[in-house]
A and B are shown apart, each in its own frame.
Chain A
Amino acid sequence: MPGRLLTRSDQWLATANASHFFYVCDEVRKNNMATQLPTTNPPLVCWNCHERTIGTHFCPGCGKLLQLPQGSDYFAMFELPRKLWIEMGALEQKFLQLSWKIHPDNFVSATEQEREISLKRSSELNDAYRTLRDPIARVEYLLAIEGTRKNGESKQQAPPELLEEVFELNESLDELREAKAEGTDTASLRHRLEAAEKNFGGKLEKVDTELQAAAREWDQAIDSAADDVARRKAMGKLNELLNRRSYIRNLVVNVQKELL
């Protein structure tokens, strides 16, 4: 029987907060439970030399590749604050530098455990770089780890002020499908849809500009160590813009598909 696939944000939430696949070893977890100190960045014990360590990637004591600390996220992996403006050149540099050290090629003749850690960390590094490099994926990810994008949130509702235009567009799409099926002339319909595509394309650009502004607000809130209210406000705006963007983008893609 098929199950239900939860949303992307859930997955990121699950990954970032609750369930890292590569937990620190059991010993550490027991340690944490005993001391009842669930901090966001729990002290890590090296799986190899069993020393407490502060290394992000390698144990300063024995030099072994460490498992990713619990509660670590893509920003932390690159030693970046949770801000949306990222200097791409520096991100790439860091990515290449870490790839050089963590890639499975380095561990071909290492123990199975080390090979496994390298494979997992290397895939995480690549996933993180792929996400942070893409401005939209970056915002989605940030919202997920900040807990703003929640379970199964409906993102496919038309923004109210667009309702009329969307209704018209859907009608034209239906007409075009019908005309295609019946083999009648589609030239004028195509013309109308092309105009609509341009119109919604413009709206998409506008949303992107607004997203950039909202991203700056978020970054300022972080920089000024603003209170929860200000942060939540910036988050809410980003979230709304993302929903709007994904809705308009779907429309544009649908129109483009029909026009092909």
Chain B
Amino acid sequence: MGRIVGIDLGTTNSLVAYVDTQTGEPKCIPGPFGSTLCPSIVSIDPDGSIIVGEPARRRLLTQPERSIYSVKRLMGRGPSDVQSELKLFPFRIEPASNHVIRVKLGEKVFTPPEISSFILRELKNWAESYFGETVDRAVITVPAYFNDAQRQATKDAGKLAGLEVLRLVNEPTAAALAYGLHEKPAAAGGKVAVYDLGGGTFDISVLKLISTGEGDIYQVLSTNGDTHLGGDDIDNLLQAFVHEQILQHDQIDFSPHGELAQELRKALIDIKHQLSETTTAMLRFPLPNGNVFVHEFTRGELEALIRPVVDRTMGPVKQALADAQLEPSELDEVVLVGGATRTPLIRRTVQEFFDRKPHTELNPDEVVALGAAVQANILDKGVKDMLLLDVTPLSLGIETYGGAVAKVIPRNSTIPASAQELYTTGVDNQTGIDIHVLQGERELAKDCRSLARFTLRVPPAPAGLPRIEVRFLIDANGILQVAAKDLRTGEQHTIEVQPSYGLNDADIERMLEESIEYAEQDFAERQVIEARTEAESILLATAKALANPQAAQLPAAERQMVDASVAALQEAARGSDYKLIRRQIDELNHATEHLAELLMTSAVQTALEGKKLAEV
């Protein structure tokens, strides 16, 4: 069995973390660019290769039609739900999609779980390079307010990335876990609110921390949120504001999805970040007509613009407190999570509401991944000193006559949770009973989220005689399972639950086959590309060294060896045998050892020349 990691699959950035067995501390794993943040951006090359993260970010500007960001917004959603998103985000949805969204990237078409799986696979690669071992299991975090379909889509993405998803953990709960480790909750029975505003989602969770003889229990009392509210919305507001200004001053109405819009968005995100540190920031944005759009933003102006977003978070905050039957003053700690909580206006608003300085000690970008790593470690080792008791964010209901909804599992029920419903027939010899499962708080089925529809098979009998018990179970991941049983015969029914939005088993099967092809291709290609890049840099360094006058001191035999190694490496790098390239790199490294020493000595001498001894 390979290693296990915790993954924060975010709207804007994704991270992977693990628990160091030596120190017991969770740590985020850096990628090839040194940062622990992997931008959740995916780009597909014309040759079909998949580019993820920082390199894909550049392509967002140069090849927007082949690149996608914020795909998390599309997870577990149907084509009709995303119409409003399409106005703000450059998603190219295929019109042929029915129960599942398909996004066009270049020539190919992908579902959101597939695109997310590319991000997960990249993080898996980061971790594998870091450990030098395979990674095959993960705990992945999801927004607490994610519904069943969104959770299922995330789990599917993990599977497609070649990861066994041991648990989906709610992001604010993971953050609380990381904080709990960091500073032991002062008092047993302490109540903590976690305010988590990420790139595209908002969660508020209220937890109770209980110390028992055996360990700590993190019991979630209530959760609420908005799965389409986040830093992205702040960027959209800024973009719309500047767009309007440019339209007025320069009469330029550029497409909101084109290259120019992406560049503007990038510039505005910089402005937003600057205004978290300083009170003014200058935007200079060159326009196609040769003019430069100049605007000095003040923090006050930004705050006035984004206040609607901040205000929208407060409704869920109040509801979560009401559901936990707590007043703001009864909270012992408040924790801020998510990059967007760096915004001074948000910090101030939260502080005023709870009348308490919120915790910001841990990096708000990393804290969720760290918590996921802690949970992964608990599940892996089986030795636990803490337990998470999470809740389902939305009520589970069944459609009844007249399109009303009968709630069977109320929101904020501790999971796993279940409900038994007993059904009978309405007319003689009825052979099927249609069941429609929904999630949401509204009273009418049409206002709730449809999770699944299925038909119970019933043997013909007089009306009202059959007794079919249906068991709905929400598992520890917040995902629904359904089983049915005929109470008269004791017969178990297998229920084929077709998700209303999402992938069915056949879809997954087909995608898995495709993804395995990708995986093999991915792995070999990545190795070749990495080896070639390394070869290029060492060849360049060698050429520079040989051009140095000091190189003349190198004995002829050695010089010949270096030249031969250079030629051999150049030859190898033209091919695609990465093992051969690596061997030639090692050989060249070895051959140039003396040369490097010569240059080093000379460099030290140059540096010392003209300096007094005392200065050395």
Contacts and interface: CB of A to CB of B under 8 A. Distances in A.
Give the interface centre of A4, A11, A97 by most chain B CB atoms within 10 Å. A4
A14 B422 contact: yes
Nearest to A124: B418
B492 to A, nearest CB: 10
B382 A108 contact: yes
Interface residues of A, number: 32
Given A11-B420, A96-B217, A104-B476, A1 B212 contact: no
A105 B214 CA distance: 15
A205 interface: no
Interface string B437-480: 00000000000000000001010000010011101011110000
Contacts of B212: 96-97, 100
B464 A4 contact: yes
B379 interface: yes
A1 B426 contact: yes
A105 B416 contact: no
B459 to A, nearest CB: 13
Interface in A118-137: 119-120, 122-124, 126-127, 129-130
A94 B473 CA distance: 23
A18 B469 CA distance: 11
Contacts of B456: 3
A85 interface: no
| Chief secondary structure at chain B's binding surface | strand
A14 B420 CA distance: 9
Contacts of B487: 14, 18-19
B423 A3 contact: yes
A2 B426 contact: yes
Interface residues of B, number: 56
Contact of A127 (B379, B418, B424, B483): B418
Interface string B201-233: 000000000101011010100000000000000
A167 interface: no
B485 A21 contact: yes
B388 interface: yes
B433 A2 contact: yes
A3 B426 contact: yes
A96 B483 CA distance: 28
B55 interface: no
Interface in A8-54: 10-11, 14-15, 18-19, 21
A10 to B, nearest CB: 5
B387 interface: yes
A105 B398 contact: no
Contacts of A108: 166-167, 379-380, 382
A6 B387 CA distance: 37
Interface of A: 1-6, 10-11, 14-15, 18-19, 21, 96-97, 99-100, 103-106, 108-109, 119-120, 122-124, 126-127, 129-130
